[in-house]
Amino acid sequence: MSSSKNVVIGLAGLGTVGSGLVQLLKDNAEEIEQRTGKKIFVKYVAVRNTNTKRDIPEGAKLIDNPLIMVDDPEVQVVVELMGGLGMADILIRQALEKGKSVVTANKALLAEKGEELFALAEEKNLSLAYEASVAGAIPVVQTLKDSLAGNKINTIFGILNGTSNYILSEMSAHGTEFGAALKTAQDLGFAEADPTLDIDGFDAAHKLKLLIRLAWGVHYPYEKLPVQGIRDMSAMDIAFARSLGYSIKLLGQASRVHEEIEAGVSPVLIPEKAMLARVDGAFNAIHINGNAVGSLFLHGLGAGSLPTASAVLGDIMSLMKDIYDSTGYVMEKLPLAPMANPDKTEAPWYLRLMVHDTVGVLRDIAGIFAKHSISIAQVIQKKKQEDGVPLVFMTHETSVRAMKDALHEIEATKILNCRPVAFRVLELV
Ligand SMILES: NC(=O)c1ccc[n+]([C@@H]2O[C@H](COP(=O)([O-])OP(=O)(O)OC[C@H]3O[C@@H](n4cnc5c(N)ncnc54)[C@H](OP(=O)(O)O)[C@@H]3O)[C@@H](O)[C@H]2O)c1
């Protein structure tokens, strides 16, 4: 039971991550005590439905109103593993108001409403820890907050969503179309019944927003991040990219360019030899470049019961060692990020245009590219398909604006059979 040698926690949520945490608390109890000199006592477990049979820690009370734990003065740390933007938000606010530190895995809440919650934690001199919110088991929050604190961060990019990565890996390995690969992912439990957040890039954007905050100490409003998911991905483009020596991955990318933050989530072509291109299935990976450390590559499971609970438990144990350093930046209110205009971002591009099989098409397209100063590195005409002849272009560095304008003009000429496909190419050394 609770004593001064115990840290008393209230656990809200006993789903995938919550039950992983309960298992770790049991399996690793000895190591926890060795490392911190204390025991963890779970006083409450909150769930929606208390009638379902649950495996809860000895001595814990099962409740359906998570706010009960914030009214108990004995509870020192509230662990929020319910998800969502409603009750989770209320619980975290009330816990901080009442002097309790919080550990959460809720990236959606922190990305969308985090600034207020981080400010509240700082005002109260409490911790709001969130390692599990970004890339599950990968210790990237701690890495940016502590290990790399002495660096100026130049770039961060990575595969931040395991579901999308699993789907793209399936499409690449078996030539499957998107719909079939999504179904396999759902059947195997790698994708939710409603996969919108994952496949449309929003989950990766939630994590990218938090990474930008950690890397540069700025508030980049989540809703301003340009986001493109993989819903329209075609097996044809994955095969064409492969024939050119590239893999397609859904990347979250952020760089500091001339004092501005260039950031966004989109499918990107990555050279097949790069480590990032070889991150397959449900894995996540993050590449960080700092002015002192050079390049770092973190790789691991971005989700799952025990891997995510491992990050949650690490945060709880840090709190037990009395580390109350809150959110990684000690500023009352972070300045707004100097957001680069996404249209000015420059990159080489992969383009696939499905054209009618007529004379002069290539000349017309080349003319439009020239007008917009787009320089072609490679052009390949692929075998005729049912819906036209695929023309695949690799360009030299071109701005998003020039590419959008050129594609708009090409579409207006009616020489295309369907919408053009355009992905940026990531050049890695
Ligand atoms: N799953 C992962 O691998 C993973 C990875 C990284 C981060 N996360 C984040 O971790 C959090 C939890 O995810 P999860 O996958 O563990 O979710 P989950 O399996 O859906 O579990 C949610 C739990 O919260 C309880 N709950 C929900 N609303 C509640 C309310 N209003 N009052 C009381 N209890 C409530 C549910 O109760 P019932 O059991 O009665 O339904 C359930 O036990 C989310 O923020 C998620 O984004 C998850």
Last residue of a domain, one of 116, 133, 150: 133
Backbone angles phi, psi at 294, to 5 degrees: 75, -135
Contact 134, 211 (CB under 8 A): yes
Closest residue by CA, ligand 1 atom 34: 47
Band (pLDDT 50/70/90 cuts) for residue 331 is low
Task: Give the CA dihedral 159, 167, 240, 371, nearest 10 degrees.
Answer: -60
Do 293 and 194 belong to one domain? yes
322 CB neighbour count, 10 Å cutoff: 8
Q: Is residue 323 part of a domain?
A: no
Do 215 and 166 belong to one domain? yes
284 ligand 1 Cβ < 6 A: no
Do 274 and 150 belong to one domain? yes
Whole-number pLDDT of residue 323 = 40
Query: If you measure from the C-alpha of residue 236 to the centroid of ligand 1, how many angstroms do you get, rounded to a whole number?
Result: 37
CATH number reported for the structural domain that contains residue 77 in this entry: 3.40.50.720
Q: What is the mean pLDDT of the chain?
A: 93
Band (pLDDT 50/70/90 cuts) for residue 321 is confident
Q: Is residue 318 part of a domain?
A: no
Do 246 and 288 belong to one domain? yes
Last residue of a domain, one of 84, 116, 133: 133
Whole-number pLDDT of residue 191 = 81
Question: Does the structure show a pLDDT above 90 at 357?
Answer: no
Whole-number pLDDT of residue 322 = 61
Q: Which atom of ligand 1 is nearest to the CA of 84?
A: 45
Quote the domain boundaries for residue 232: 140-301
Q: Which atom of ligand 1 is nearest to the CA of 311?
A: 6
3-class SS at 300? strand
What total of structural domains would you count in the chain? 3
236 CB neighbour count, 10 Å cutoff: 18
Contact 285, 297 (CB under 8 A): yes
Question: Does the structure show a pLDDT above 70 at 328?
Answer: no
Tell me the average pLDDT across 185-202: 90
Distances (CA, A) of 176 to 149, 215, 405, 421: 43, 37, 32, 18
Q: Is residue 312 part of a domain?
A: no
53 counts as catalytic: no
Whole-number pLDDT of residue 37 = 83
Do 347 and 366 belong to one domain? yes
Q: Is residue 281 part of a domain?
A: yes
Query: If you measure from the C-alpha of residue 373 to the centroid of ligand 1, how many angstroms do you get, rounded to a whole number?
Result: 50
Question: Does the structure show a pLDDT above 60 at 324?
Answer: no
Q: Which tokens belong to 363?
A: 């000349």
Distances (CA, A) of 295 to 213, 220, 289, 409: 19, 23, 4, 40
Do 401 and 272 belong to one domain? no
HSE on the CB side for 283, CA within 13 Å?
A: 13
What lies within 8 Å, CB to CB, of 220 at 6+ separation is 209, 212, 213, 254, 261, 263, 337, 339
Tell me the average pLDDT across 114-129: 94
- Testing ligand 1's pocket by substitution, the residue of 16, 22, 53, 202 carrying the most ligand atoms inside 8 A of its CB is 16
Q: Is residue 263 part of a domain?
A: yes
pLDDT digits (tens, 9 = 90+) for 216-265: 999 999 999 999 999 999 999 999 999 999 999 999 999 999 889 999 99
CATH number reported for the structural domain that contains residue 405 in this entry: 3.30.70.260
Last residue of a domain, one of 133, 163, 187: 133
Q: Which atom of ligand 1 is nearest to the CA of 54?
A: 39
Q: Is residue 257 part of a domain?
A: yes
303 ligand 1 Cβ < 6 A: yes
132 ligand 1 Cβ < 6 A: yes
Q: Please tell me the distance from the alpha carbon of residue 156 to that of residue 255, in angstroms, as a whole number.
A: 6
Q: Is residue 12 part of a domain?
A: yes
What lies within 8 Å, CB to CB, of 166 at 6+ separation is 185, 190, 191, 281, 282
Whole-number pLDDT of residue 4 = 56
Do 127 and 173 belong to one domain? no
Do 148 and 128 belong to one domain? no
Do 292 and 154 belong to one domain? yes
**DSSP of 2-69, one letter per residue?**
--TTEEEEEEE--SHHHHHHHHHHHHTHHHHHHHHS-EEEEEEEE-S-TTS-----TTPEEES-GGGG
Do 197 and 290 belong to one domain? yes
Top pLDDT among 95 and 415 is at 95
Do 12 and 161 belong to one domain? no
Band (pLDDT 50/70/90 cuts) for residue 1 is very low
Q: Please tell me the distance from the alpha carbon of residue 404 to that of residue 410, in angstroms, as a whole number.
A: 10
Q: Please tell me the distance from the alpha carbon of residue 117 to that of residue 139, in angstroms, as a whole number.
A: 21
CATH number reported for the structural domain that contains residue 225 in this entry: 3.30.360.10
pLDDT digits (tens, 9 = 90+) for 129-184: 999 999 999 999 999 999 999 999 999 999 999 999 999 999 999 999 999 999 99
| Secondary-structure breakdown of the chain: helix, strand, coil percentages, each rounded to the nearest 5 | 40, 25, 35
Q: Is residue 157 part of a domain?
A: yes
pLDDT digits (tens, 9 = 90+) for 363-403: 999 999 999 999 999 999 888 888 889 999 999 999 999 99
Query: If you measure from the C-alpha of residue 88 to the centroid of ligand 1, how many angstroms do you get, rounded to a whole number?
Result: 10
Contact 344, 400 (CB under 8 A): yes
Listed residue (299, 228, 301, 300) closest to 263, CA to CA: 228
Do 108 and 167 belong to one domain? no
pTM: 0.89
Tell me the average pLDDT across 55-61: 95
Share of the chain above pLDDT 90, in %: 84
81 ligand 1 Cβ < 6 A: yes
